[in-house]
Amino acid sequence: MKRVLGLGLTVVVLVTAVALSKNDRPTSTTGDGELRIDQEARNPWTHLRLNNGRDNFQFALVSDRTGGHRAKVFSQAVDRLNLLQPEFVVSVGDLIEGYTDDKEKLAEQWKEFDGYVRKLQMPFFYVPGNHDLSNATQDKQWEEKFGRRYYHFVYRNVLFLLLSSEERTPKDEKNAGNRDISKLSAKQIDYVKKVLADNRDVRWTVVALHRPMWTINNGEKNGWLDVEKLLEGRRYTVFAGHIHQYRKYVRNGMAYYQLATTGGGSKLRGVRHGEFDHIAWITMKKDGPVLANVMLDGVYPEDMTVPASDELGVPEKNRKKTHLAGGKVVLEGKPVPNATVVLWAYNAKTKRYGRVADGLSESDGSYRLSTYKAFDGAPEGEYTMTAVRHEPQFDETGRRTPNKLPERYAQPETSPLKATVRSGNNTIDLDLSR
């Protein structure tokens, strides 16, 4: 992050010889003449190959801001981006809360968001998420404000392909049921085909979209496999968001990143859970991008102050009081690490189970439940519990790995595990057997 160190785009080092003539100290000059330094037989440096190749540049990505956004996070991320000074910033969608057809409310949400990104000292590139395009009214407003939902640009011979995962028809909506639908239209895939054909000789391609579409049935029915086929034979990197949990995948030998949040709804349980607020800082080099995850709470100005912000979060409505709850997961007497434990409540009206809280076991099998925020426990009530162990949870391609625990514990409909949460501190040990 050369700009963070105040070096600017050009590094110039000038050491003036003192008390010795020019003949005593030969001067070494780099090929472009930017670095001049007196060089002797022995020198207090490693080498003089400066890390500022002409193909290098820096840009940043911000992830989901909404889905229950928290106060004073995204707005302060803008201040931190101005400190970091990337060339430009790319989003992966979910910029406003949306999910309403009230034009005035939507206009106010966009006014708020646009007010933040206008403070950036560098360009900001919009990408739509499901919160931004959830109905016909929002779709029309996007058209009026931004026009295109997918587009591209080229910078220093790197192609940036910004796509929309939010294309669906009324028929798709009707047939979706409770499924999370995501789709790339044939028209958008044709656009990708043309852009890639017109930019065959770029040195790298960066793809950004909202949903990690490769994790939905391996992308077989939503158009993602068509995009991957078009990308064959070139070097590329893909960035997405939506899930609010950080993960890296490798498909076809290329890196795919699912970013965490930049203010979006999150329990914020930390790196192990992939739940944190960050900026993805990308240094594009000759041989490809280098990614650094910059945590928002680790970037401060020189006076170590956090700028004031009037950004309001989503009000915490209808939240039940929680009580600490946790325990230990054992299988035939042996601790089970990395088990995902979920607390489910049964709704007699809908005849469905609803997820209430979850936890991830440590190396000794211990776990702590979280409902609304990190390790806050669960509301009082009677529950069914499930336990699964996917290690890792997903393979490199995005497919769920096999469950290493007995399958009867995997679904609330078949699990024999029951739990009662009462006021106070609750210990809920899970004794599993094969």
> HEC profile for 39-88?
CCCCCCCCCCCCCCCCCCEEEEEECECCCCCCCCCHHHHHHHHHHHCCCC
State the pLDDT at residue 393.
Answer: 78
What is the per-residue DSSP string for 342-366? EEEEEETTTTEEEEEEEEE--TTSE
Distances in Å between the alpha carbon of 302 and those of 4, 5, 264? Answer: 11, 11, 27
Torsion, Cα of 145, 147, 149, 155 (10° steps):
-100
Sequence-distant (6+) residues with CB within 8 A of 66 are 94, 95, 96, 97, 98, 129, 131, 263, 264, 265
Tokens 């852009």 belong to residue = 195
Per-residue model confidence (pLDDT) at position 180: 55
Distance CA 7, CA 2 (A): 6
Q: Hey, which CATH number is domain 322-432, 3.40.640.10, 2.60.40.4070, 1.10.3720.10, 2.60.40.1120? A: 2.60.40.1120
pLDDT at 21 over 60: no
Integer Rg of the chain from CA: 26
Question: Alpha helices of 254-330 — where are they, by DSSP H?
Answer: none
pLDDT band at 46 (very low <50, low <70, confident <90, very high): very high
In the prediction, which pLDDT does 400 show? 82
- Whether the per-residue pLDDT at 426 is higher than 80: the answer is yes
C-beta separation of 278 from 63 below 8 A: yes
Measured in whole angstroms, how far is the alpha carbon of residue 254 from the centre of its chain?
A: 17
For tokens 């800082």, the residue is 281
Task: Give the model's pLDDT for residue 33.
Answer: 64
pLDDT at 395: 81
Q: What is the pLDDT of residue 32?
A: 56
Taking residues 119-141, what's their average pLDDT?
96
CATH topology (fold) of 57-298: Purple Acid Phosphatase; chain A, domain 2 (3.60.21)
pLDDT at 12: 41
Could you count the other beta carbons within 10 Å of the beta carbon of residue 151? Answer: 17
The mean pLDDT of 95-112, rounded to a whole number, is 96
> What is the predicted pLDDT for the residue at 34?
84
Which pLDDT score is estimated for 29? 56
Nearest to 133 by CA among 174, 104, 98: 98
For CA atoms 16, 17, 23, 29, the dihedral sign is negative
Whether the bond between 392 and the residue before it is cis, its omega within 30 degrees of 0, is yes
Rounded mean pLDDT, 271-290: 96
> Domain ranges in the chain?
1-52, 57-298, 322-432
State both tokens at 53.
Answer: 């190749």
What rounded mean pLDDT belongs to the chain? 90
User: What's the pTM?
Assistant: 0.88
Structural tokens at position 376: 């806050």
Strand bridging mode 334-335 / 278-285:
unpaired
Kindly write down the DSSP assignment for every residue of 174-185, as one continuous string.
Answer: HHHTTS---B--
